[in-house]
Amino acid sequence: MKKPTIGFIGLGLMGGNMVENLQKRGFELTVMDLNKDEVAKVIARGNATEAASPKELAEKSDIIMFCLTTSAVVEKIVYGEEGILAGIKEGAVLIDFGTSIPASTKKIGKDLAEKGAGMIDAPLGRTPAHAKDGLLNIMAAGDVDTFEKVKPVLEEQGENVFYLGALGAGHTTKLINNFMGMTTVVAMSQAFAAAKLAGVDTQQLFDIMSAGPSNSPFMKFCKNYAVDNVSDLGFSINNANKDLGYFVQMMNDLGTKSAIAEATSSNLQAAVAAEMGNGNVPEIFDYFVKLQN
């Protein structure tokens, strides 16, 4: 059976490795990215071409994949004058691998359906190294028939492919996951900062906390930075700030609110304003240490 043709937009660290994996597995690709050096790398590996516009990419593709930074960028590429919506074929499927606002995802899905095309939201777990080997965790959602249609391709990219239900459930689950994780890291980082400011030995604090139910991989990441000055959680304050902002917006869209998320978000925003955004999330420890009246 002929493999579907794939259009891929977003050749950052994760997206670029996903494309390399697809090329190794024999897929024909059309790609786009603002970084022309990354586009050139893809084309040099063979069986890939560059599109001049999202519309052209959509016209050439059975499956369109996004690995983009924000919902605003996704909407611009979908709805622009030369956008995906203008060129997508009947029966084609758009897969959004990024972390997007669920309400935006549902709106795009509705508009694609009116053109006879489908959509899957499929945010990712694990690292770019896993992406290169097709070993990602993929949280996929959308119409079940559409999911089954693209599942074989998703299984070429993910070791674990979870089906979560109706469109938007993937992005919702990813935002909840990141809310839990990043709130934990921010709280633990402040705990270590409080110990430092109070003159309490931070290694001893870790020894005590890790002997109880608070012990977790996140605590170890926070301890590694606060105690050992090793920054090894590969997720930036900028990314956490974006995701917590999206979680807050999602809660508002659901007609409720999360004071916990709003507090975490305000701390992350403050760290970004202090020009710490490129650092990994446990580095917010430094912000809390300096945050004195």
Query: How many domains is the chain partitioned into structurally?
Result: 2
Does residue 281 fall inside a structural domain?
yes
Q: What percentage of the chain exceeds 70 in pLDDT?
A: 99
Q: Is the pLDDT of residue 1 over 80?
A: no
Which residues are known to be catalytic?
Answer: 174
Q: What percentage of the chain exceeds 90 in pLDDT?
A: 97
Same domain, 180 and 265: yes
What would the 3-class secondary structure string for 83-115 be?
Answer: CHHHHCCCCCEEEECCCCCHHHHHHHHHHHHCC
Across all residues in the chain, what is the average pLDDT? 97
Same domain, 221 and 279: yes
**Domain boundary residue, one of 100, 131, 166:** 166
Same domain, 27 and 148: yes
Assign residue 13 a region (left: φ > 0; alpha: ψ between -120 and 50; beta: otherwise): alpha
Same domain, 43 and 132: yes
Burial 87-97 (b: 16+ CB within 10 A, else e): bbeeebbbbbb
Same domain, 234 and 272: yes
Coil, helix or strand at residue 184: helix
Same domain, 111 and 236: no
Q: Is the pLDDT of residue 293 over 80?
A: no
Same domain, 95 and 144: yes
Q: Give me the phi and psi of 20, to 5 degrees please.
A: -60, -40
* pLDDT tens digits, one per residue of 139-175: 999 999 999 999 999 999 999 999 999 999 999 999 9
Same domain, 27 and 150: yes
Beta bridge partners, 280, equal: 236
Same domain, 24 and 151: yes
CATH of the domain at 194: 1.10.1040.10
Same domain, 187 and 97: no
For 96, how many CA atoms within 13 A lie in the half-sphere containing its CB?
Answer: 35
User: Is the separation of the CB atoms in 38 and 120 below 8 Å?
Assistant: no
> What is the pLDDT at residue 2?
82
Range of the domain at 208: 171-290
DSSP E strand boundaries for the chain: 6-9, 29-32, 48-50, 63-66, 93-96, 118-121, 124-125, 136-140, 158-163
Does residue 1 fall inside a structural domain?
no
What lies within 8 Å, CB to CB, of 117 at 6+ separation is: 88, 89, 90, 91, 92, 93, 94
